[in-house]
Structure 1
């Protein structure tokens, strides 16, 4: 099974092609650029470059895995719209995964740990995991000072890898069930708000 993995939930623009088999995951190619303002500009070129390096085309793909956050509204939307458009055009499933779970999937921990990413506004997104990488709390958004200090191991300000994204999708790729909806994990309202009703002006 050939899977395209993409994520724009962090400051990184991530795309990669992963060969998924029952006994292993082989990352064939990946493109990652850390630039919080370039998600919309770089994601499609990254997808095409990764496919080219993997010796594949879009119509070779069997599925898509997309990180759905938590993340800032603008960046997160770029990845999810791309995943939805490719899923529709190619008639293949697009599986959502929590981006923090994808980071945790690549962690080799000695005990429980936190995954923490930048939420801006002096806040962080975070989730707690047991030693096996199973999420036990979160995702949440808080100030760094409010995090549980009992977790001695922390993975901070990382970004998901294509292999971690696919691993986080787990059995969904082989279940045969329809993919879950691509529902974003914003955790807070976007900065842009709709304007309120116009004030009534009376003429004296």
Structure 2
């Protein structure tokens, strides 16, 4: 087994390789504006570090969000392209689940929150690092203050709103290494994956203007 994992749902552009037992190479860089520029070099870097070619990969793991439209689609389109070219399965994993897994929190409920912009967060509640108990949501922090009160909180979204998330923990950003390790566990146990489709949770920022006029040549 050789899993190639990637995620671009947050400002972290991250890729990793996992051989079914452990992570053999990983690369992460935080840059919210350069997902399209940085992902393929990150993949090249982990392949080179591991000393393997792309055709050695037996499965693709991709973070499906939730995340902003522009960044999220970079990872998903890249994963789908690799999967099609190599003829290997593409496994979707919730990005928030990757953060929860990396936190290692196994002693009680907690929440994961990432930055959704517009003064909102993407978030979900977890019973422990491998068990999400709510669907991912997008909300203003003040609107969920009662629901998350007293709970440890993981992720960059929690750090942005300390008045709501008062007990913040690491990591701040998702890593493809954690996604790959979680996916390897799921494959070993026969657990289901999400389809490799984006969890946007809201409409994209860029939209066709209303009353748009189509101009046709005479």
The equivalent of 2:6 in structure 1 is 6
RMSD of Structure 2 on Structure 1 (CA): 2.3
Alignment map for 1:135-150 (pairs within 5 Å)? 135-147=132-144, 148-150=147-149
TM-score when normalising by structure 1: 0.88
Q: Is the 8 A contact 1:68 1:98 kept in 2?
A: yes
The equivalent of 1:88 in structure 2 is 84
Question: Does the alignment pair 1:68 with 2:78?
Answer: no
Please list the CA deviations of residues 20-65 of structure 1 after superposition, one character each: whole Å capped at 9, or x if unmatched: 1xxxx31111110000001000000000111100111100000010
Q: Going by fraction, where is strand more abundant, 1 or 2?
A: 1
Question: Does the alignment pair 1:125 with 2:122?
Answer: yes
- Matched residues in 2 for 1:171 and 1:133: separation? 10
Question: Does the alignment pair 1:169 with 2:183?
Answer: yes
- Matched residues in 2 for 1:175 and 1:150: separation? 34
Q: Structure 1: state its 5+ residue gaps.
A: none
The equivalent of 1:35 in structure 2 is 31
Query: How many pairs were matched up?
Result: 196
Q: Structure 2: state its 5+ residue gaps.
A: 157-171
TM-score when normalising by structure 2: 0.82
Q: Going by fraction, where is helix more abundant, 1 or 2?
A: 2
The offset of 1:172, in angstroms, is 5.3
Q: Is the 8 A contact 1:18 1:162 kept in 2?
A: no
**Cα pair distance change 1:126/1:90, threshold 3 Å:** same
- Matched residues in 2 for 1:185 and 1:47: separation? 23
Question: Does the alignment pair 1:102 with 2:98?
Answer: yes
Query: 1:138 is paired with a residue of what secondary structure?
Result: coil
The offset of 1:163, in angstroms, is 2.9
The equivalent of 1:185 in structure 2 is 199
Q: Is the 8 A contact 1:114 1:151 kept in 2?
A: no
Runs of 4+ in 1 over 3 A off after TM superposition: 170-181, 195-200
- Matched residues in 1 for 2:94 and 2:173: separation? 12
Query: 2:65 is paired with a residue of what secondary structure?
Result: coil
- Matched residues in 1 for 2:5 and 2:18: separation? 7
Larger deviation, residues 88-97 vs 167-176:
167-176
